[in-house]
Structure 1
Amino acid sequence: MKFFLRRSVFYLFTAWAAITINFLLPRMMKGDPVSAYLLKNQGRISPEAAESLKTLFGLDSSKTILQQYLDYWALLFSGDLGRSFSRGLAPVTEVIDSALPWTIGLVGLATVMSFLIGTSLGALIGWRRGSKADFAVPVATFFSTVPYFWMGLIAIAVLSTTLGWFPASHAYGKGTVPNLSLDFIGQVIKHGALPALTIVVASLGGWILGMRNMMLTVLDEDYITVAQAKGLTPRRVLWHYAARNALLPQLSSFALSLGFIVSGTLVM
C-alpha cells in the first residue's frame, strides 16, 4: 500500500506540474493567440468580439493570474479543453474526436506490427548468433536513426510520386463519404499502407536489437542447456524456452511505447 501511495502522489504531482506549466508558458511568452488570430482577420472582427474572444480563451485582463488559473482547472475538470484556432474556433474535443480514431488505427496497428516483426526477427538473429543474419541489426538500427519526417518525404518521393504505388496524402479518396463498404475499407488500407510501412521500418531497429541482446543472455542459462540435453527440437527450445523468457523486457518496452500511439507521429 505504501508503494501505491508513493506512486500515486508522484503521478499526481507530475500531472499538476505539467498542467501548471502548460498554463503558464503561453502567458509568459510575448503576445497571445487571440492577437495572432485578430491579425489574420483584420477588419472582420469588432473590438467587442475581440474582447469576447479573450474572455473565451481565458485571457480576460480584468482577472488576475490566480483567477485565470483556477478557471483553467475548473474547465479541465468539466471536460472543456477550449477552442481550436486552426479549426475555425471549433471545440478542441471535437478536433480530437475526429483525429483520434485515425491516429489509433494507423499508429496502433503499425506499433503492434513493428513489435511482432522486430521481436520475432530479434529472436531468430539471437538464436543464430555469429551468422550472416547479424547483418540485419546494423541495417535496422540505421533506419531507426533516420528522422521520421525525412523518411516520409523519401517514401512519398519514391513510392508515391515516382512509382505511383501509394497515395501521397489523405486517409481515403477525395469525394468519398466514409462508410463500412469494402471499397471504402480498401481505400483506407491503401492510403494508410505507406505511413504504416514507414513507421514499422523506422521502429524495427530497437525491437530487433533489444530482443537479440536478451536472447544472447538467455541462451547461456542452464535451463536452455537442459532443454537441449533432453533432445528437444531446436524450434521448441527457441520459441518455448529461450524466446519466451527473453520476451519479458520487450513487453515492458511495448507497454511504454503505447504512449507513442497518440503523441509521436504528428508529422507522419
Structure 2
Amino acid sequence: MTYFARKFGFFLATLWAVVTLNFLIPRLQPGDPAEIMVKRLAGKDAALDPAQVKAMRAMLGAPDGSLWNQYVSYLGELVHGNFGLSYTYYPYKVTDVIAQAFWWTVVLVVVTQVVSFVVGIVLGAYAAWRRNSRLDSIVTLGSTFLGTLQPFWIGLLLLYVFGYSLGWFPTSGGYEESTPGFNWPFIQEAVSHSFLPALALLIVTPIGWILGMRNTMIMNLGEDYIRLAKAKGLRDRDVALRYAARNALLPSVTGFALALGGVLGGAILVETVFDYPGLGRLMGEAVQNKDYPLLQTLMLLTTAGVLVANLAADLLYGVLDPRARRAQA
C-alpha cells in the first residue's frame, strides 16, 4: 500500500503544479487578447480606442485585479467547472467549443496510437528475435529513415498526391453535407476525411515502438533466464513470446499510457495541415488569438490526461511487476 499511496501523493502534487503553471504561462505571454479582437474588427491600420479595448475586456470577461486575486478566482472557477468564454469563438463557452472537437481527435489519435503500438511491438519483437537478419536490417534502417521525417511534411505530401493530384480523398474538414450523428452517410464522410491524417500519423508513430521494443528485447535475450529456458528445451516461439517479449513489453506499457494521455493535445501540425476539426487545431487557434480560456483549458486537459495515464501506468506496473513495490517499500 505504501507504493500506491506514494504514487497517488506524487500525482496530487504534480497536478497542483500543473494547474499553477497553466494559470501563469498564458499571462506571461506578451499581447492583449482584447486589443487583438479590436484590431480585427476595426482593421490592422486603425488606431486603438482605449474605451473600445476596455469594453472588449469587459465583454470577454477578461481577468483583472492582482495576479494573486486572479489565481484564487481561477481556482474557484476551476473547482466549479467554469472555464469561461472562448475569445476566438465568442460568445460560446470553452466547454462547448472543446466538446465539438473532442471526439474528432479522440477517434483519430486513439485509433492511430493503438494500431501503431501493436504494429510497433510486433515488428520490434520479431526484428529482435531475428536480429542481424535481412528482415531486421530492413525494419531497423527503414524505421531510422522514416523517423527523420515529420508527420506534417508527410501530411503535405499525401495531401498533394492523393487530395489535389488524384482527387481520391477530401483535402480539408471532417465531413461535408451530411448530418453529424450515427448514420451511414456521416460515417462514410468522416472516414474519408480522416484517412489521410491517420495515414500521416501511422507512417511515423510506430517508429518509436519498433526501435524501443527491439532494443529492450535484445537486452533481455542476453539474460540468464533466457539461456536457461533454451537449455530446458523450450521451443523458440515460447522463449520469444513468454519470456523475452513479455519482459521487454513492461517499459512500453508506461510509454503507451503516456501516449494515450497525450491524445487530448491532439496532433496540432497534422490537424492544421488537413484543417481537421480536432483539439490540435483548436490549440493552434488559441495560441494565435491569445485565447487564454481556451488555451488554458486545452493545456489543462492535455497535462491532466498525461498525469492520469502516468498514474494508471504506475499502478499497473506495480501490479504486473512485484519488484517495483518491493523497491519502494
C-alpha distance after superposition, 1:59-103 (max 9, x if no partner): 34xx33332222122111111112112223311111111111111
Structure-2-length-normalised TM-score: 0.71
Between 1:141-150 and 1:92-101, the stretch displaced more is 141-150
**Partner of 2:138 in structure 1?**
135
Query: Unaligned 5+ residue runs, structure 1?
Result: none
Q: How has the CA–CA distance of structure 1 residues 84 and 131 changed in structure 2, closer, same or farther, with 3 Å as cutoff? A: same
Q: CA deviation at 1:42?
A: 3.0
Q: CA RMSD in A?
A: 2.7
Between structure 1 and structure 2, the one with the greater Rg is: 1
Q: Does the 8 Å contact 2:164/2:171 carry over to 1?
A: yes
Residue 156 of structure 1 aligns with an amino acid whose one-letter code is: L
* Aligned amino acid, residue 150 of structure 1: W
1:51 to 48, 52, 55: 55
* CA separation of 1:231 and 1:177: change in aligned 2, threshold 3 A: same
Check if 1:267 corresponds to 2:269: yes
Counterpart check, 1:149 vs 2:141: no
In 2, the alpha carbon distance for the partners of 1:8 and 1:244 equals 27
Q: Indicate whether 1:171 and 2:181 are aligned.
A: no
Q: Report percent identity of matched pairs.
A: 40
**CA 1:51–1:186: 2 relative to 1, 3 Å:** same
> AA paired with 1:142?
F
Q: How many residues align?
A: 264
The 1:227–1:15 alpha-carbon spacing in structure 2 relative to 1, beyond 3 Å, is closer
CA-CA distance at 1:4 after TM superposition: 5.4
Q: Match of 2:242?
A: 240
Q: Which runs of 5+ in 2 are unaligned?
A: 44-48, 271-329
CA distance in 2, matches of 1:87, 1:51: 17
**Structure 1 residues 241-256: aligned runs within 5 Å:** 241-256=243-258
Tell me how far 1:7 sits from its aligned partner.
4.6
Read off the aligned partner of 1:167 and give its amino acid letter.
P
1:59 and 1:68 in contact (8 A); partners too: yes
Q: Which residue of 1 aligns with 2:24?
A: 24
TM-score by length of 1: 0.86
Aligned equivalents of 1:169, 1:22: Cα separation in 2: 31
Query: Taking CA–CA contacts closer than 8 Å with sequence separation of 6 or more, which of the two structures ends up with the larger relative contact order?
Result: 2
TM-aligned CA distance change 1:26 to 1:110, over 3 Å: closer
CA distance in 1, matches of 2:145, 2:95: 38
Equivalent-residue separation in structure 1 for 2:4 and 2:235 (angstroms) = 44
Match of 1:41 in 2: 41
Mean Cα deviation higher: 118-127 or 223-232: 223-232
